[in-house]
Amino acid sequence: MKLEEIKKYIKAHKLDTPVRFREFNDIRGVLYVYLREKGYRFQEIGKMFNRDHATVINGIKRHNDLHTFKDHKENTKHVRAFLKYQTDLKQLDWKDELLKCETLIDFHRLQKQVKEELI
């Protein structure tokens, strides 16, 4: 996923503002972890969100502590879907996959995969 797409998402959802509501912090945590896994330094991540590196470290720890709780999953499902959609969309060429379908069963499998990934 391109960094520019993530930056647009951050701006569109006002994640770079001083707002500290739990929903915002939960979403930031998911993005902190994602960006860290992609190799970005704490300082670089913090700059995207107008935060310092210590806030990013704390946000990652908090996310790791809370990511199994139901309300945390509910608060972050749209950002996780965004990240999954952006990644999967680039990895899968739907036209080629559709042309590979030889039977109705193959088509239904592809249809199910599309529904699961895009909804």
Residue with tokens 């879907």: 81
pTM: 0.66
**Number of Cβ atoms within 10 Å of the Cβ of 46:** 19
The answer to whether residue 29 scores a pLDDT higher than 70 is yes
Pair 48, 16: CB distance under 8 Å: yes
Query: What average pLDDT does the segment 84-108 reach?
Result: 71
The confidence band for 83, taking pLDDT boundaries of 50, 70 and 90, is confident
Separation CA 64–CA 38 (nearest Å): 17
Domain boundaries, the chain: 3-118
Q: In this model, does residue 88 exceed pLDDT 60?
A: no
> Could you give the CA distance from residue 99 to residue 112 in angstroms, rounded to a whole number?
16
Six-digit token string for 9: 């998402």
For residue 40, the model assigns a pLDDT of 92
Say what angle helices 22-37 and 53-66 make with each other, to 10 degrees.
100
Tokens linked to 29: 């945590």
Count CB atoms within 10 A of the CB of residue 15.
20
